[in-house]
Every structure is written in structure tokens, then in C-alpha cells.
């Protein structure tokens, strides 16, 4: 992400600070662990020294800035889908399975883009995923919850007071998976649509394209079959 925005010279000294850190808790000085990532470990260590303290904040360092940023972005899509799962009333077992499979998808995407798999097992990956995909402090989880309860995706994204990153990330993750052959889609008859791994295949197909065209019951059935959460609306940024 940073490399797409900044030139090589501008990237000098660039550090990404990421991890499970809801602002609502940080401002109350609740115990928080983060990771500072930079291509130059000295720069990451400087940020580590600035933000770390002996009471509530500890910062680790990493040189895998790509892995940290991609993991921190893609987990928002999983959080959105996790909220849909809760909104559909599928239970905590299904949501736990979703988060687990979602972590695998993050690993695949990070790896194919050149990041390190181990990064996903850390604070920027699974750590951030757990809190974002299960907390009412998460705007992406809240948005997914409303979608699962039947609200239109476009309306939810438009009316949110904060940015629902997961809606756009879901589309981007799906395109990355297609580009790098990370997914297998099998489409037979309209009423027999099936999506294999990854999770984004099933989710994006219903969120973006609604191939079943059957609304909530069809989406719920496909979710049960694939442990992927779907919503029943059209493209998140199109009305109707």
C-alpha cells in the first residue's frame, strides 16, 4: 500500500504501526500490543521507543512492511463477513470457523504478494483479526451485522459515520485471488452454484454478483454449505 502511494525516496523512514488496537480502549490506556514495520529496522525501533511504555503499550518490530499492511487490510474483509455471520444468526461455532478460514486466506494473499507468512501469525494478522472480527467496537463488524440483519449494503456503507474498509477490501481480495489463481469456482446450474476455497470466492460472488439471485434464504444456504458468509445485495457501491 505504501509503495503504491510513495516513491522509493519518500519511503525512506516510512514506518507502519499496526495491530489490535481499538481507539476506544487505547484512549483509556487499556493493555495494547502493536507492531512497527519498516524496511529499515532502525526506523521501526525508533517508533517502538516512541510509543512503548511500562504501563499499557508494548510495540514489537518487523521489517515485513508489506505483510503487515496487507494483513491489516484484508482482515477488515473478514471482519465484515464475520458481522454478516452474526447478523444471520448462524452462531459462534460458524463464526469461529469463518475467522479460522479467513486467517488462512490472509496467509495466502500475503504470501502471493511477497509478504512473510509468519507475519500473519502475529499481531498485525491473527491478533488484529480476532478483535476486529468479534468486537462491537469494530466498524467493519458492525456494518456486517447490519447487512446480515437485512439492511442494504450500499445504505450501510453510505450511512456509516466511519469508513467501512472491509467492503472495498472484499472486492480487492477477490480480484487478487483470481489474478493469482488462488481460488477455484465451480458454477453449474444457477440453483447449484458452489464456491470452493477461498472464502472470498463465495463471499464476493454473493456480495458483488449475487449469482443465486435468491435473496436471504439462498445466501444463508450457500453459507451453511461453504462456511462463507454472504449477503443478499448487489455490488456494495451500487444502489438497488
Q: Catalytic annotation on 161?
A: no
The H-or-E segment that residue 212 falls in is: none
Instruction: Give the neighbor-by-neighbor strand order of the sheet with 32-37.
Output: 16-18, 32-37, 57-62
Using DSSP's 3-state secondary structure scheme, residue 39 falls into coil
Beta-bridge mates of residue 62 = 37
Q: Which of 75, 117, 146, 161 is catalytic?
A: 75
Give the DSSP letter string of 105-170: HHHHHHHHTT--HHHHTSIIIIIHHHHHTT-TT-HHHHHHHHHHTT--HHHHHHH-SS--HHHHHH
Instruction: Specify the DSSP class assigned to residue 54.
Output: S
Using DSSP's 3-state secondary structure scheme, residue 240 falls into coil
In order of 87, 118, 154, 204, 238, the CA distances from 235 in angstroms are 19, 33, 8, 9, 5
| Active site positions, annotated | 75
Amino acid at each position: 500500500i505504501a509503495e503504491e502511494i510513495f516513491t522509493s525516496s519518500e519511503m525512506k523512514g516510512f514506518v507502519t504501526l499496526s495491530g489490535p488496537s481499538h481507539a476506544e480502549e487505547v484512549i483509556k490506556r487499556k493493555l495494547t500490543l502493536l507492531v512497527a514495520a519498516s524496511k529499515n529496522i532502525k526506523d521501526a525501533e525508533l517508533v517502538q521507543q516512541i510509543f512503548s511504555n511500562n504501563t499499557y503499550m508494548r510495540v514489537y518490530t518487523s521489517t515485513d512492511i508489506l505483510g503487515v499492511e496487507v494483513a491489516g487490510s484484508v482482515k477488515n474483509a473478514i471482519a465484515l463477513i464475520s458481522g454478516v455471520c452474526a447478523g444471520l444468526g448462524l452462531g459462534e461455532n460458524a463464526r469461529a470457523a469463518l475467522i479460522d478460514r479467513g486467517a488462512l486466506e490472509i496467509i495466502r494473499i500475503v504470501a502471493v504478494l511477497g509478504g512473510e507468512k509468519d507475519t500473519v501469525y502475529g499481531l498485525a494478522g491473527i491478533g488484529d483479526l480476532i478483535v476486529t472480527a468479534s468486537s462491537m467496537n469494530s466498524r467493519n463488524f458492525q456494518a456486517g451485522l447490519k447487512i446480515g440483519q437485512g439492511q442494504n449494503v450500499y445504505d450501510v456503507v453510505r450511512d456509516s459515520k466511519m469508513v467501512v474498509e472491509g467492503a472495498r477490501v472484499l472486492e480487492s481480495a477477490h480480484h487478487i485471488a483470481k489474478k493469482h489463481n488462488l481460488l477455484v469456482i465451480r458454477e453449474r446450474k444457477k440453483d447449484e452454484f458452489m464456491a470452493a476455497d477461498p472464502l472470498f470466492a463465495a463471499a464476493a460472488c454473493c456480495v458483488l454478483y449475487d449469482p443465486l439471485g435468491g435473496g436471504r434464504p439462498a445466501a444463508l444456504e450457500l453459507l451453511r454449505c461453504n462456511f462463507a458468509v454472504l449477503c443478499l445485495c448487489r455490488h456494495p457501491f451500487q444502489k438497488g
